[in-house]
Structure 1
């Protein structure tokens, strides 16, 4: 299986500019505005009026970049647009129709059909389902129609208003625009201060200070294998035909309320899992990574301190946070063979490098959720396929004696919500993930119902492998699952 090429790595970063909601909004608004006024490009006066109008509107761009308006808060985005329509005269409806048309074309056809067809082999008719997914989507991407539409319509309306005023040489009511921006700031702050209250509570202390046991002593395991089924929604896993994973769960220890982090984006979740801390510390706040590399130690750094090796097998965008610890795989392949190829690559890594820790990211379930939705049979069928591949991989490891003193951890990095398999804002289906451990050091037939966090992954791995805790690890060791802690 091919590694992700340098071109693919750069292309993935460019795509995140359009995929992630924060950068998409200003890019889309500027593009639509310039396209609508393309006939004026040869007029120097256009660029002057356009630039000054943009400068007056810039505070609104900044506010909509800073504030997400997640989940039900997006309903409140329509009120500033209505207020703007009452304050300023409405005109040029063709501009707004163009914006809506281009947005639907981009999300439903270019992204939902053309892009997925070229990258993972989705049917050319995917738009017949994808339009419903875009309208219901609640995550933090550009495909969140109920968040993006009122944002870009307001920005285009105000910018075009001031452009016309400056173009005509009229006395522009800049003061009104600044007052409007101030009102929007207060409005946004109040909504996020008093209604945005569903983020997971962070653990205030470091693992090294709060744990009764310490890592860095004698290892309990020779190896640990972590298989992350990216985007596997918990209740859909229960409905899927996945006998092997469910057998491992029943024979090991399950954490029934394992909570992901906020925002529940793949690169963020992996960064938190394998550093043991939160985005504000490790610095990865979305799939769009502006500053490459985590800012704190990872479990891979901890293993190096004791002469051990860990490898993370995943697609290109994990390189942005974990760098050289990632064994990259290309994400440009038919979704029906993606996980098969990843498992074959995992076998090769184990055979040739024999790492003490292997983390493998299976991507088929997540990609099916994004391209086809999570509430359809396509999604549970992909979970069933992942189950068979995991069974094959574990059997392969057993044949080579690599499971004799090994803990196997199976989990998801996040769930997925309705719509385009959305995840980010912790909508229903995103927050809690399947998580269970299996192996000779793990209690059998045990279930933990208390709430835990995925930030416990890194310190638990350190403890099992006899490595020190990563420097900023905050999660507690999952001692309830370990045999010697009766």
Structure 2
């Protein structure tokens, strides 16, 4: 299987400018105005007026970049637009209809049909389902129609109003505009201060100060298989006989919580540093500065002469750097996971790492392209089960499972819509989490709430390595058998 090329890594970063909601809004607004007024741009005066008018909407773009308006808060985005209509009552219907059409062309046809057909082989008719997914979507991406529509309609209306005033040499009521922006800022602050209260609780204490310290290694090896985007309740509905057997003969965490925002780069960074975005620096899939700011479990292993590897897609290089072996994500959705697991065997055979993390992407791809409430999503979970069983059987034949602990989990779930994840809508927050191995309790169900940040310190504990520098997770001791019980 091919690694992700330099071009693919760069393309993935560029795509995130359009995929992540915050950078998308200003890019889309600017592009829409340029296209709408393209016939007039031959005049230098028109271009100057358009750019000068743009300056006046920058404060609004900044407000919308700072505040998330997650989940039901997006409904309140229509209030500033309605206030604008009451005060100014100045809209260009043609511009707004053009922007709406352009938005749905981008999301439904370019993204949901062309992009997914070329990247993972979905049907040319995928738009017949994708438009419904976009309308239901609630995540932090540009595909969240209920968030993006009121944002860009307001920004375009103000920009167009000022642009036309500039061209007609009419006076602009700057005081009214400043007061309007102040209203939106205060409005957004109050909403987020008092209604945005569902983020997971943060562990305040560092792992090293919690009374448990790594000692002698318990496991020779640890394998972590992350089924990207596997929604917990859909996992329970799927046909997964092998993973069910791991649950019966291992420990299952029934309330394992992901981090906020629940984006892949954020979640992986938290899982393998043991801490949160405010410390490791990864706050979305759009990475402005490469590399995590703190130690990872891979750094900890190097301190004791051990090796860890992460096999995943190009996005993860942005945070974990050289500890990642990349796989290309430009592959038919039915071939991606089989090829990843073949590559995993090759790495285990040739490099034999002490810690090996594998990211399976098929389930996430289908959730995003075709939705999580359909049979295709359950089928991908079943296929993951078959591939994991084959991989574990191969490890046994190679003699690599004798004193190995196996983790099976997801980095986040997926909500309705385009398999959305980010704002912790229903289906995102709690993820499957199974631990299996010779030193792991058998048939145990842990009901207590835990966080995915506990994975890194638990790996340190099992492999006899120091905790990563900023790790705050709790070692999952309730899954580990005491020595006298073995």
Scaled by the length of structure 1, the TM-score of the pair is: 0.99
What is the Cα deviation at residue 91 of structure 1? Answer: 3.3
**What's the counterpart of residue 335 of structure 2?**
337
- Equivalents in 2 of 1:15, 1:421: separation in Å? 17
- Correspondent of 2:271 among 266, 269, 273: 273
**What's the counterpart of residue 41 of structure 1?**
41
For residues 388-447 of structure 1, the C-alpha deviation after alignment (integer angstroms, 9 at most, x for no partner) is 000000000000110000000000000000000000000000000000100001011111
Farther off after superposition, 84-93 or 94-103: 84-93
**What's the counterpart of residue 467 of structure 1?**
465
Q: Please say if 1:238 is aligned against 2:239.
A: no
What is the Cα deviation at residue 138 of structure 1? Answer: 0.2
- Equivalents in 1 of 2:171, 2:447: separation in Å? 65
- Equivalents in 1 of 2:257, 2:317: separation in Å? 24
Unaligned stretches of 5+ in structure 1?
Answer: none
Q: Please say if 1:214 is aligned against 2:213.
A: yes
**What's the counterpart of residue 158 of structure 1?**
158
**What's the counterpart of residue 315 of structure 1?**
313
For residues 176-233 of structure 1, the C-alpha deviation after alignment (integer angstroms, 9 at most, x for no partner) is 11111100000000000000000001000100011x2202x21000000000000000
- Equivalents in 2 of 1:34, 1:156: separation in Å? 11
- Equivalents in 1 of 2:259, 2:141: separation in Å? 17
What is the Cα deviation at residue 92 of structure 1? Answer: 1.9
What is the RMSD of the two structures over their aligned residues, measured on CA atoms?
Answer: 0.8
Matches within 5 A, 1:301-380: 301-380=299-378
Unaligned stretches of 5+ in structure 2?
Answer: none
For residues 351-392 of structure 1, the C-alpha deviation after alignment (integer angstroms, 9 at most, x for no partner) is 000000000000000000000000000000000000000000
- Equivalents in 2 of 1:92, 1:359: separation in Å? 53
**What's the counterpart of residue 30 of structure 1?**
30
**What's the counterpart of residue 54 of structure 1?**
54
Please give the secondary structure, in 2, of the residue aligned with 1:181: helix
What is the Cα deviation at residue 123 of structure 1? Answer: 0.4
What is the Cα deviation at residue 45 of structure 1? Answer: 1.6
- Equivalents in 2 of 1:45, 1:88: separation in Å? 25
**What's the counterpart of residue 72 of structure 1?**
72
What is the Cα deviation at residue 88 of structure 1? Answer: 1.1
Please give the secondary structure, in 1, of the residue aligned with 2:442: coil
Number of equivalences: 484
**What's the counterpart of residue 394 of structure 2?**
396
Scaled by the length of structure 2, the TM-score of the pair is: 0.99
**What's the counterpart of residue 8 of structure 2?**
8
- Correspondent of 1:261 among 259, 262, 282: 259
Please give the secondary structure, in 2, of the residue aligned with 1:450: coil
What is the Cα deviation at residue 89 of structure 1? Answer: 2.9
What is the Cα deviation at residue 48 of structure 1? Answer: 2.2
